[in-house]
Amino acid sequence: MLRDITLGQYFPGNSVFHRTDPRVKIVLTMLYIVAVFMADSLLSYLIMTAGTILLIAVSRIPLKTVTSGFKTILFIIIFTAVLNIFWTKGENLLFSFGIINVYAEGLIHAGKMVLRLACLLMGTSVLISYTTSPIALTDGLERLLSPLKVIKLPVHEFAMMMTIALRFIPTLIEETDKIMNAQKARGADFTEGNLLQRAKALIPILIPLFVSAFMRAGELATAMECRCYHGGEGRTRMTVLKTKPLDWILLSVFIAYGVGIILL
Amino acid sequence: MKKFIEIKNLNFSYEGDEGERVPVLHDINLDINKGEFVTILGRNGSGKSTLAKVINMILTPDSGELRIDGKNIAAELTDEELMAVRRRVGMVFQNPDNQLVATIVEEDIAFGPENLGIPSAEIRQRVDDALDTVGMKAFARHSPHQLSGGQKQRIAIAGIIAMLPECIIFDESTAMLDPKGRQEVMDTIEKLNREKGITIIAITHNMEEAVRGDRIVVIDGGRIVKQGTPKDVFAKPYELWELGLAVPQVTELFDMLRCLGADLPESVITEEEGAEKLARLLETK
């Protein structure tokens, strides 16, 4: 059961976005988010939606995968829609029921909000989650933020922590499985009882898991020391990220997209 | 032959729970030559892992001399000197999972050279060479958790080789592996010693592995109690049994045959040799 958890939502492929420099992708995502929030007129909404559809098409991520993300934010979408429908006041009253008045403006506003949220979710997940491996994302973040080292922000340390966390997720999941089986073999029951009882049943899993995680951490630290790790200072990297013409083309396209939405 | 590691009157103790000093190593004297393959044997708690950690300065000795290539490193070292020692004397541990840092095999092998500040193009070259040496080229872009224990341990070895060390210490590196993985790792270690001339210090419980080395050093209670070629050390099995150690199965068999009156004066440590001698014995009968 626990083995099914995938690392992030990375969907391997070879589309334009898969090949884009992770640093550029982070910038593109920020541009995209700003653009989506700046959309106001009907025309700009059309451009926003068209752009998002194009984004999904180019990424070649199956539509089913992209829309599956909706389940998690369905509540927020419905909540926003309901709030907008019933609380927006306008001039064109559609119908009235007791103290509840629904205006045409409210419906339009709700539609816009839902569209915006949907675009935001699909666009960013296609740009970042589905087309960037977690390791590339960490790497991109470290390099993009490296100027912040000047103001003593521990950028390298943060990236190192992310990398190690990603590395140990499968290991610790495997370990959890093992401990669970060991406890089950001694008669532990994780499936019955109320919430509190089930939460209590998890304690005999969590304690050995934590103990072993700390022991692993100690051993890993020694092994890293043996491999001459001494923080980010003076460290070089094997892979050199170089921006390709494609990255610059994408960047200009996104800037044009954002400017278009803001102006129209 | 040139001495690579020289240990003189070395002592080490750690701090116990109540602040008292608990001695672990007593007056260790040991020289290891360049290109030698030394196995360190000893039961649990004998101090063999501690000795390994002292040699590459993960632990600092209390007193005594520890020279690597003539330079005394037991004295105060700057961070750069410490790094230089660890680059020259690499270490591979028992649990392969707890040594790998990155989520991609080749990124992990690059970790050491990256720490040393080596230019990118050269790191790439070293990583490819190291992958080649351990025979894991096909797995360069894999994630470590998809690999078997033996494969993971070979990646850990590759990560050390990429720093171009002169000596590698294996701290029970085969103890957690299945027989196949153990064979893979032992073959890799032997290859490093034979083809690359890397000095090997292998700490192990496994007697079949110990016979592969040039010399065996037996540690008990923090003292070196016995050393010599595998043949010499295994010549008197009962001496090892007294130390809580075993001897290779074939050695034990020959010892029993000898007790039963068979004409087998010499001790035997490898199975091939044993089979040959038995065949000859049967022929003469």
Nearest-Cα residue of chain B relative to residue A7: B103
Q: Do A228 and B163 touch (CB under 8 A)?
A: yes
Is residue B42 a part of any domain in this protein?
A: yes
pLDDT tens profile B77-102:
788 888 888 999 999 999 999 999 98
B263 in any annotated domain: no
The chain A residue lying nearest B92, using CA atoms, is: A223
Contact status of B193 with chain A (Cβ, < 8 Å): no
**Any A CB within 8 A of B77 CB:** no
Name the pLDDT band for B32 (thresholds 50, 70, 90).
very high
Write down the pLDDT at residue A3. Answer: 45
The B residues from 80 to 139 touching A (CB cutoff 8 Å) are: 83, 86-87, 90-91, 93, 95, 97-104, 106-107, 110-120, 123-124, 127
Output the domain CATH number for residue B95. 3.40.50.300
pLDDT of the residue at A8? 55
| pLDDT one-digit tens code per residue, B229-247 | 988 888 888 888 888 888 8
Bridging pattern class, strands B89-92 and B167-171: parallel
Mean pLDDT of B174-198: 91
Q: Distance between CA atoms of B178 and B148, rounded to whole angstroms?
A: 9
B86/A235 CB distance under 8 A: no
Q: Which amino acid is at A125?
A: S
Residue A120 to residue B104: CA distance in whole angstroms: 31
Of A167, A225, A236, the CB nearest to B119: A236
Contact: B111, A227; criterion CB under 8 Å: yes
Res B71: pLDDT: 81
The helix-helix angle for B179-196 and B149-161 (nearest 10°) equals 20
For position A125, what pLDDT does the model report? 86
A171/B82 Cα distance (integer angstroms): 31
Contact at 8 Å (CB) between B64 and B28?
A: yes
Residue pair A115/A49 in contact (Cβ under 8 Å)? The answer is yes
Q: Which chain B positions have a beta carbon within 8 Å of A229's beta carbon?
A: 111, 115
The answer, yes or no, to whether residue B40 has pLDDT greater than 60, is yes
Task: Answer whether residue B208 is part of any domain.
Answer: yes
Q: B143 CB near a chain A CB, below 8 Å?
A: yes
B259 is a domain residue: no
Question: Which of A7, A216, A234 is the closest to B98 by Cβ?
Answer: A216
Residue B202 lies in a domain: yes
Query: A83, A101 in Cβ contact below 8 A?
Result: no
Contact assessment for residue A131 and residue A58, using Cβ atoms and an 8 Å cutoff: no
* Number of structural domains found in chain B: 1
Q: What's the ipTM?
A: 0.87
For residue B262, name the pLDDT band (cuts at 50, 70, 90): confident
pLDDT digits (tens, 9 = 90+) for B123-139: 999 999 999 999 999 99
Q: Residue A82: phi, psi to the nearest 5?
A: -60, -45
Q: CA neighbours within 13 Å on the CB side: how many for B185? A: 30
Distance, in angstroms, between A7 CA and closest chain B CA? 11
The 8-class DSSP code of residue B205 comes to: S
| DSSP notation for A168-234 | HHHHHHHHHHHHHHHHHHTT--SSSS-HHHHHHHTHHHHHHHHHHHHHHHHHHHHHHHHTT---STT
Q: Is residue B242 part of a domain?
A: yes
User: Quick one: closest CA in B to A170, which residue?
Assistant: B145
B78: containing domain? 3-247
**Measured distance CA(B251)–CA(B231) in Å, rounded:** 9
pLDDT of residue B161: 94
Return phi, psi of residue B234, to 5°: -85, 0
Q: Work out the average pLDDT over B156-172.
A: 94
Q: Would the pLDDT of B264 be above 80?
A: no
Check A171 against B110: CB less than 8 A apart.
no
CB–CB contact A167 B127 (8 Å): no
Of A135, A223, A227, the CB nearest to B98: A223
Q: Do A216 and B97 touch (CB under 8 A)?
A: yes
Identify whether B218 is part of a domain.
Answer: yes
The pLDDT tens digits of the residues spanning A124-144 come to: 888 888 888 888 888 888 889
- Cross-strand pairs, B28: B10
Instruction: Say yes or no for a CB contact (<8 Å) between A236 and B120.
Output: yes
A176 contact partners, CB below 8 Å, separation of at least 6:
A2, A205, A209
What are the residue ranges in chain A where pLDDT is below 50? Answer: 1-7
